[in-house]
Amino acid sequence: MNTSNMNWSNDMQLLNEELARAQMSARLGEAQHRKLVREATLARRMSRRAEKAAQQARLALARL
């Protein structure tokens, strides 16, 4: 292999590594976004349950 071919091969390897890093970074960002969405959804669900329980407690007290 001459120097030109070696440089080209090295450049291609570096490009492939850079692409792999970019893809992993994108996947990590997507996973973090999905986690935030799940957490927000769970928080809303738990909040609604707490509001419902509080309302039921108020109704139960009002009946006394």
pLDDT exceeds cutoff 80 at 58: yes
- Distance from the Cα of residue 11 to its chain's centroid: 32
What CA–CA distances, in Å, run from 52 to 25, 42, 45, 61? 41, 15, 11, 14
Neighbours of 5 (CB within 10 A): 9
Neighbours of 49 (CB within 10 A): 10
The model scores a pTM over 0.95:
no
- pLDDT tens digit sequence for 10-32: 999 999 999 999 999 999 999 99
Indicate the pLDDT class of residue 1, thresholds 50, 70 and 90. Answer: low
Average pLDDT, whole number, for the chain? Answer: 95
pLDDT exceeds cutoff 80 at 61: yes
